[in-house]
Amino acid sequence: MTAARVGRAPAKVNLTLHVLARRPDGCHEIESLVAFASVGDRLSLIPDGSLSLIVLGPEARACGAVANNLVLKATRALAERIEGLRLGVFLLSKRLPVAAGLGGGSSDAAAALRLLAHANGLGPADPRVWEAAKATGADVPVCLDPRARVMRGIGDVLSDPIGLRPIPAVLVNPGGMLATKDVFAAFDDASQRAPTCSSAQIEEQQERPEGVREGRLILSALAQDANDLETSAIQLCPEIARILEILRQQAGCELVRMSGSGATCFGLFASRAAASAAARSLRASHPRWWVRATTLR
């Protein structure tokens, strides 16, 4: 039997998120600066044999029916494009909360496509892998190559990778699931629009000398920006506002925001030590919350 190959499926964090328009098909045009965390799920593939998926880990129960998992959807999308695709058994260690604004399912699907590409001798830029990612879900393309960048359109227009310095952070989720479609519906009802959009400014910094991209210039640019869905998500899950306020009060925390459509929030910290101390304190005071110290890049 061929040895299993293991892939990372890191959490995707929306440092900024702007809803630009609603399309006739009901999808939303967005612009978002995304980064990826050092925490995430793990996916392994044992090539050969029929396609199957086993889901384990602390968040496995929340994943729902295995038949609906994006790992299988992505695999089938690629198999439709490549005759005789070598398949196998996937083992998913689910560590990220589900429907939490961290792109966990999308990152799992992207990891599956990377593992399949390797098992079948496909190059990283094979257009069939990209097409399968787009067919699987809006966030899957940006997760194929998990590096900080700006995503636009419905997630299908990506900038070149951005050389963000590693940013210490704490991720906090109150538990439970917050459906993306419900948050967007609340946003549409309120017709909210944010006036600023500095993620493009951050993208432009990749053209400047390395020192210019460091430290507080990035944090300053982020502080001027927003997540357009935050207010709508708070209406559906008021505990988000509480998390943001508690994160704000932590020593060394320099910026707080919600990721994606929520309910996960993040705090950016001055140092890894400060982030770790904050995570320990939050876990002790709120044992039901999912809390992780991490690094974004």
Backbone phi, then psi, for 146, in 5-degree steps?
-70, 80
Task: Annotate 42-57 with DSSP letters as a single string.
Answer: EEEEEESSS-EEEEES
Determine which one of 41, 108, 139, 225 is catalytic.
139
Element (H, E) at 149: strand 149-153
Determine which one of 12, 73, 94, 228 is catalytic.
12
Provide the sign of the torsion angle of the four alpha carbons 140, 76, 60, 55, taken in this order.
Answer: negative
- Respond yes or no: is residue 12 known to be catalytic: yes
CA 166 to chain centre: 16
Element (H, E) at 152: strand 149-153
The conformation of residue 164, written as its DSSP 8-state character, comes to P
- Respond yes or no: is residue 139 known to be catalytic: yes
Alpha-carbon span 196 to 225, nearest angstrom = 6
Contact 229, 183 (CB under 8 A): yes
Choose among 16, 8, 271: nearest CA to 148. 16
Choose among 172, 187, 290: nearest CA to 241. 172
Element (H, E) at 97: none
Contact 192, 228 (CB under 8 A): yes
Which residues belong to the active site? 12, 139
